[in-house]
């Protein structure tokens, strides 16, 4: 499995959890401390830390520790590989529609001749 494939799998896996998605949405607004991120989830701190580790491993967030306070921030371009993969699928699909359309046109032309 290529590194690109591994990265994509990590990204999609990180996004597959509603708590992790809500943390990302929160961080899109502004950086936040781990304790502040934990509060609205109602989850215990170690559980939130595990979610943050998954997000960090996927490259979606970065964290900085200052003394005892850890602050998290979103990584702006981290969604790019996901978007690129979706665009690739759409391009393949659209090429297929183009071929189908060309085929239909040929059949119609032959019928009219």
Binding site for its own copies (CB under 8 A): 1, 5, 8-9, 12-13, 15-18, 21, 24-25, 28-30, 74, 76, 79, 82-83, 85-86, 88-90, 92-93, 96
CB of residue 65 to its own copies, shortest distance in Å: 23
C-alpha distances in angstroms, 32 versus 25, 40, 56?
A: 11, 12, 14
**Strands of the sheet with 61-66, listed across from one edge:** 32-33, 69-74, 61-66
CB-nearer residue toward its own copies: 25 or 47: 25
State in angstroms the smallest separation of the CB of 82 from its own copies: 7
Grouping H, G, I as helix, E, B as strand and the rest as coil, residue 72 is strand
Backbone angles phi, psi at 58, to 5 degrees: -80, -5
**Looking at beta carbons only, is 34 or 82 nearer to its own copies?**
82
């Amino acid at each position: 499995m290529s590194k690109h494939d591994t990265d994509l799998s990590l990204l999609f896996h990180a996004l597959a959890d509603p708590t992790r998605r809500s943390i990302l949405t929160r961080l899109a607004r502004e950086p936040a401390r781990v304790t502040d991120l934990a509060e609205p989830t109602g989850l215990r701190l170690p559980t939130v830390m595990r979610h943050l580790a998954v997000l960090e491993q996927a490259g979606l967030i970065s964290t900085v520790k200052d003394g005892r306070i850890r602050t998290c921030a979103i990584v702006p371009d981290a969604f790019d590989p996901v978007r690129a993969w979706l665009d690739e699928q759409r391009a393949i699909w659209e090429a297929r529609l183009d071929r189908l359309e060309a085929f239909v046109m040929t059949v119609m032309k032959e019928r009219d001749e």
